Amino acid sequence: RAKASGGNRFELADAEADARAITRHGLTTALPTALERGEFFIEYQPLVHLGDGSVRGAEALVRWLHPQHGVLGPDRFIPLAEHTGLIVPLGRWVLEQSVRQARAWRERHEEAGPLRINVNLSPCQLTHPGLVQDTVDILERAGVEPDALCLEVTESALIGADDDLLKPLRRLAEMGVDIALDDFGTGYSNLANLRRLPVSVLKLDRSFTQSMQQFPADPVDLKIVEGIVSLAHSLDLAVTVEGVETGAQAEQLRILGCDTAQGWYYARPGPPERLHELALVDATG
């Protein structure tokens, strides 16, 4: 009996693996037409200043409205797009849309200060030779200053990065584009390496925010975050925290000296109109 049910479990596992592989294959082949047909859309999640609760900008997060499967999150298709190279035109599209959106916000909300847009970059986009020129063209076409843009690169994408890989990021940083190190603290964070990277923002991974669940949080985690924040500030880097879901987390992270926060406590990712509303009011109010 045990053997038989064990066998069934394996068959079931195989069937699930097959189904996943079929979906993956189906999604991969559908990606190029999806871009042509305009099935991708972007949601924006506000970045909120921890000190005064004001909205300082938003991160652009891409979604796919698939005709059969409904809305798919980036974790479902970004790896496939990276694998096939479609990430380059898709990433360019995300950048163009987001930069245009930044212009619209800046025009409508001058009183809110210079709102910024954060856009995620894949490792493949980093090594693509057109990155700098594409970015310059997109900013010019939209009539947007480079300081309205922050490009997010994961720490793991820059692990062991040589100067060739860093060159385009340096050029962008010199132009005034901010570079953020995304999901910081999840990889083998090489703190000494930070000085070498042209980054101006550290985005502390959600796992740190989660460990701030209790108030007061675990003393060791507090020390770690405190250490990262003080190192970041001494290197002139701003610290953004991801995944803030409760007021207690926000308060703890504010006390620890983090500058900006992002998370469901303030707002879920949503359509661009949401940000017009949020920019006008205190995000926590």
13 versus 71: smaller Cβ distance to ligand C2E: 71
- Rule CB under 6 A: choose which of 94, 144, 173, 278 binds ligand C2E: 94
- Rule CB under 6 A: choose which of 6, 26, 51, 73 binds ligand C2E: 73
Is 240 near Mg ion (CB under 5 A)?
A: no
Instruction: Record the tokens describing residue 199, joined without a space.
Output: 């980054």
Distance of closest approach, residue 192 Cβ to ligand C2E, in angstroms: 24
250 binds, among ligand C2E, Mg ion, none (CB under 5 to 8 A by kind): none
Distance of closest approach, residue 95 Cβ to ligand C2E, in angstroms: 8
168 binds, among Mg ion, ligand C2E, none (CB under 5 to 8 A by kind): none
Q: Which of residues 15-54 bind ligand C2E (CB under 6 A)?
A: 45
Instruction: Record the tokens describing residue 237, joined without a space.
Output: 């880097």
Is 243 near ligand C2E (CB under 6 A)?
A: yes
- Rule CB under 6 A: choose which of 46, 57, 168, 269 binds ligand C2E: 269
78 versus 199: smaller Cβ distance to ligand C2E: 78
Q: Which x/- pattern over 190-229 shows residues binding Mg ion (rule: CB under 5 A)?
A: ----------------------------------------
Q: Which of residues 146-205 bind ligand C2E (CB under 6 A)?
A: 152, 182-183
Residues that bind ligand C2E (CB under 6 A): 45, 61-62, 73-75, 78, 91, 94, 120-122, 152, 182-183, 242-245, 262-264, 269
